């Protein structure tokens, strides 16, 4: 292979030959076999696949670091072998440049510049280190040894290795920008306030929704055992729940409201608690109960401890003003929102995710649900704060949810003073392909079709046909317009005492 003369190329070649000459004078020893074997081990990325496999055995950051390292290595290898070796043809060192016992045989036939081994080594080490610095520091000496081995064995000139390392580092930085690591989820915190202690449930009125997906005949009995002095009411329908709720809030003995049910039931009781300035005790029951989870009430034991100790906190709530029906005389509906509101395909995606989650786990279930939901979906036309959009999803969370992508799952703060607004739009060219591609590559959070913002209020109006709005899991059809407004620190709730 002939070299092509370029400005500065001769100077680089002279420096390369001088450095190789110095290495040629290093005495023969066991290190020659070590570097030869190390160089061979890195052929086709086998060494880095092995290291990545070892890191992947450790859940969490090490596993994410291994994946980022392999992605960076794949990009670096492709750029080096397909692009730069074609653009920068260069002859490799000759047998005359190194002793026979050190020179690798047979020589590779591709261009010497840049070093693919060095690019892969640097890409993997830097890719790992950007996610897990400790693992990156541990891998760096091995990557450096592989890069040096290519000069030691005569496979490359020093400048080939230098350029290869630069390309590998660039590939790792590109992957880090293109596919950022999810930020850590903040530790759950509560805006603490004292609330009325409820020993044995004295002064506590509990509403149990018997229509809940996890209700059985033993639920009320169990609650009566842990709260023997509580006033426990059961109801099995919307009107029944409203009547039972009206009865218990009018009872002068009621000092706190408890609720056993899903998100819709919890929202109904929370609205009454906020209106009558009563603290809310959420119990872990119902089909879905996100507020109980975020309040730290994952078991009856925690609920009993919170009620007995009088351990409470404050939460923001959302106020949802809905207009639906005909445009001439629209029906006005006002709802309290504890968790989420959504328009478009989000309810379908959540439903699929929840069905798949027990068998697949949250991440894979969210991925499969996203693919199934959007494969043949139709976007919704609407106006968001006066701007026209075509949307697959509009999601409004009461508080910041994590992760910051299409599948928010956890809300560590209930009093952060914002709505978490996420829109996945169909405004862009090839929007469906962009969306499906970002789902397949795990880059929904950074895709151009994803828009994440925060606000204390937002107004949405139908751009054509009426909308279907879901608030805390309860659907409202025929919606013409909806406005979300924040009511900070409106709700007092029980939470586990400090330990």
Helical ranges in 227-321 per DSSP H: 238-250, 263-275, 290-294, 300-309
pLDDT at 2 over 80: no
Peptide bond between residue 461 and the one before it cis (omega within 30 degrees of 0)? no
Residue 476's pLDDT is: 85
For residue 53, the cross-strand partners are none
- pLDDT tens-digit readout, 287-312: 668 899 899 998 899 999 999 999 99
Residue 30's pLDDT is: 86
Separation between Cα atoms, residue 338 and residue 291, nearest integer Å? 7
Give Cα separations from 94 to 53, 81, 103, 161 (angstroms).
Answer: 36, 21, 9, 17
Domain 9-178: top CATH class: mainly alpha
Helix (H) or strand (E) holding 15: helix 9-24
Domain 340-471: top CATH class: mainly beta
Cα atoms found within 13 Å of the Cα of residue 54, Cβ hemisphere only: 9
Fold matches, 9-178 and 340-471: no
Separation between Cα atoms, residue 85 and residue 109, nearest integer Å? 11
* 396 closest CA partner among 276, 481, 480, 484: 484
pLDDT at 1 over 60: no
Contact 272/244 with Cβ under 8 angstroms?
no
- pLDDT tens-digit readout, 80-101: 989 999 888 898 888 777 777 6
- pLDDT tens-digit readout, 183-229: 677 788 889 999 999 999 999 999 988 875 566 667 778 889 999 99
CATH architecture of 191-315: 3-Layer(aba) Sandwich (3.40)
Cα separation of the two ends of the chain: 72
Instruction: Please give the sequence-ordered ranges of beta strands (E in DSSP) within 325-456, or none if there are none.
Output: 331-337, 340-344, 380-384, 387-398, 419-425, 450-455
- If you average pLDDT over each of 339-353, 373-387, 437-451, which comes out highest? 373-387
Residue found under tokens 């923001």? 316
* 185 closest CA partner among 424, 407, 409: 409
pLDDT at 103 over 90: no
Separation between Cα atoms, residue 54 and residue 430, nearest integer Å? 39
Separation between Cα atoms, residue 318 and residue 270, nearest integer Å? 11
Identify the three-state secondary structure at position 207. Answer: strand
Identify the three-state secondary structure at position 185. Answer: coil
Hey, what are 308's tokens?
Answer: 């007995």
pLDDT at 5 over 50: no
* 380 closest CA partner among 356, 404, 354, 348: 348
- pLDDT tens-digit readout, 453-498: 999 999 999 988 888 888 987 878 889 999 999 999 999 999 999 8
Residue found under tokens 């009411």? 233
pLDDT confidence of 254, banded at 50, 70, 90? very high
Residue found under tokens 């520091």? 137
Separation between Cα atoms, residue 393 and residue 343, nearest integer Å? 6
Domain ranges of the chain: 9-178, 191-315, 340-471
- If you average pLDDT over each of 148-157, 216-225, 411-420, which comes out highest? 411-420
Helix (H) or strand (E) holding 357: helix 346-360
- pLDDT tens-digit readout, 119-141: 999 999 999 999 999 999 999 99
Round the average pLDDT of the chain to a whole number and report it. 86
Hey, what are 463's tokens?
Answer: 């751009």
Q: Across the chain, how many H-helices and E-strands are there?
A: 16, 15
């Amino acid at each position: 292979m002939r070299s092509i003369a370029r400005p500065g190329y001769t100077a680089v070649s002279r420096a390369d030959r001088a450095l190789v000459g110095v290495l040629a004078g290093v005495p023969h020893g066991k290190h020659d076999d070590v570097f030869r074997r190390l160089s061979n081990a890195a052929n086709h990325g086998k060494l880095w696949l092995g290291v990545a496999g070892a890191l992947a055995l450790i859940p969490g950051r090490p596993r994410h670091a291994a994946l980022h390292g392999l992605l960076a290595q794949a990009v670096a290898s492709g750029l080096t072998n397909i692009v730069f070796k074609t653009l920068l043809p260069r002859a490799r060192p000759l047998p005359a440049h190194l002793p026979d016992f050190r020179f690798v045989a047979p020589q590779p036939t591709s261009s010497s510049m840049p070093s693919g081994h060095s690019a892969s080594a640097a890409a993997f080490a830097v890719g790992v280190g950007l996610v897990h610095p400790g693992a990156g520091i541990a891998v760096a000496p091995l990557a450096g040894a592989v890069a040096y081995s290519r000069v030691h064995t005569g496979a490359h000139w020093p400048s080939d290795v230098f350029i290869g390392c630069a390309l590998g580092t660039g590939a790792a930085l590109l992957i880090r920008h293109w596919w950022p690591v999810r930020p850590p989820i903040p530790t759950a915190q509560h805006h603490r306030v004292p609330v009325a202690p409820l020993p044995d449930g004295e002064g506590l009125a509990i509403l149990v929704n018997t229509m809940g997906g996890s209700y059985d005949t033993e639920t009320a009995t169990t609650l009566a055992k842990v709260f023997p002095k509580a006033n426990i009411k059961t109801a099995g329908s919307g009107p029944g729940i409203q009547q039972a709720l009206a009865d218990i809030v009018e009872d002068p003995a009621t000092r706190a409201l408890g609720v056993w049910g899903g998100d819709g039931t919890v929202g109904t009781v929370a609205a009454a608690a906020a209106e009558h300035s009563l603290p809310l005790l959420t119990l872990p029951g119902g089909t879905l109960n996100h507020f109980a989870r975020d309040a730290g009430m994952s078991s009856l034991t925690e609920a009993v401890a919170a009620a007995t100790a009088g351990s409470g906190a404050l939460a923001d709530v959302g106020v949802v003003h809905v207009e639906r029906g005909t445009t001439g005389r629209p029906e006005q509906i006002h709802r309290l929102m504890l968790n989420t509101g959504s328009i478009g395909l989000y309810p379908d995606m959540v439903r699929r995710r929840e069905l798949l989650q027990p068998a697949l786990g949250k991440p894979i279930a969210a991925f499969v649900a996203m693919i199934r939901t959007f494969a043949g979906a139709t976007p919704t036309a609407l106006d968001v704060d006066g701007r026209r959009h075509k949307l697959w999803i509009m999601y409004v969370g009461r508080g910041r949810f994590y992760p910051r992508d299409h599948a928010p799952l956890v809300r560590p703060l209930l009093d952060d003073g914002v709505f978490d607004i996420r829109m996945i739009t169909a405004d862009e060219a090839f929007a469906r392909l962009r969306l499906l591609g970002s789902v397949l590559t795990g880059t929904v959070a950074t895709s151009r079709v994803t828009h994440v913002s925060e606000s204390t209020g937002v107004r949405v109006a139908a751009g054509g046909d009426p909308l279907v709005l879901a608030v805390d899991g309860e659907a409202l059809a025929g919606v013409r317009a909806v406005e979300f407004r924040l009511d900070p620190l409106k709700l007092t709730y029980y939470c586990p005492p400090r330990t």
